[in-house]
Amino acid sequence: MDWEALRLRAVELMERAYAPYSHFPVGVAGLVDDGRVVAGCNVENAAYGVGLCAECGMVSELHATGGGRLTAVYCVGRDGAPLMACGRCRQLLWENGGPGCLVMTPEGVLPMSEVLPQAFGPANLGGGDARP
Ligand code: THU
């Protein structure tokens, strides 16, 4: 796993963030199970609650470019260091990567099963379980 390549892509995206209200730019990059790398940055709005986290953009690119499963994710703030996804975005990562998706955190690489324990997911809706 080339974590440094993912981090550099996340930093590139962080530099394109639109964060005039929080002044807290975020970038994220994710490796897809077919080898693609998808990425996103946060995009804020004058109506604060409408702002989009970086992970939202990344997941949109995932589906817009063919779908697949996230296998590894690296999110950074302005300092280029690992940034934990907010609660809502952990849910996005769970849906699109499942329990085995690896996430770079300030405490090292962790699987989503530890980043979002006892997650609510597709299995709770009676369908298939969250894909690995
Ligand atoms: N933010 C993200 O983009 N992802 C996260 O996981 C945490 C928070 C953004 C949202 C907002 O634009 C800024 O960081 C400050 O909260």
**What does the angle CA 122 – CA 114 – CA 49 come to, to the nearest 5 degrees?**
65
* 73, 86, 94, best to mutate for ligand 1 pocket (most atoms within 8 Å of CB): 86
Neighbours of 29 (CB within 10 A): 26
Are the C-beta atoms of 42 and 54 separated by less than 8 Å? Answer: yes
Q: What is the whole-number distance in angstroms between the Cα of residue 5 and the centre of ligand 1?
A: 22
What pLDDT, on the 0 to 100 scale, is given for residue 127? 64
What pLDDT, on the 0 to 100 scale, is given for residue 93? 98
- Catalytic pick among 4, 12, 55, 114: 55
Residue with the smallest CA separation from ligand 1 atom 13 is 24
**What does the angle CA 109 – CA 112 – CA 23 come to, to the nearest 5 degrees?**
75
CATH number of 3-114: 3.40.140.10
114 tagged catalytic: no
What pLDDT, on the 0 to 100 scale, is given for residue 132? 52
Tens-of-pLDDT digits for all 132 residues of the chain? 899 999 999 999 999 999 999 999 999 999 999 999 999 999 999 999 999 999 999 999 999 999 999 999 999 999 999 999 999 999 999 999 999 999 999 999 999 999 999 999 999 998 665 555
According to DSSP, residue 132 is labeled -
What pLDDT, on the 0 to 100 scale, is given for residue 39? 99
Closest CA to 99 of 121, 84, 78, 77: 121
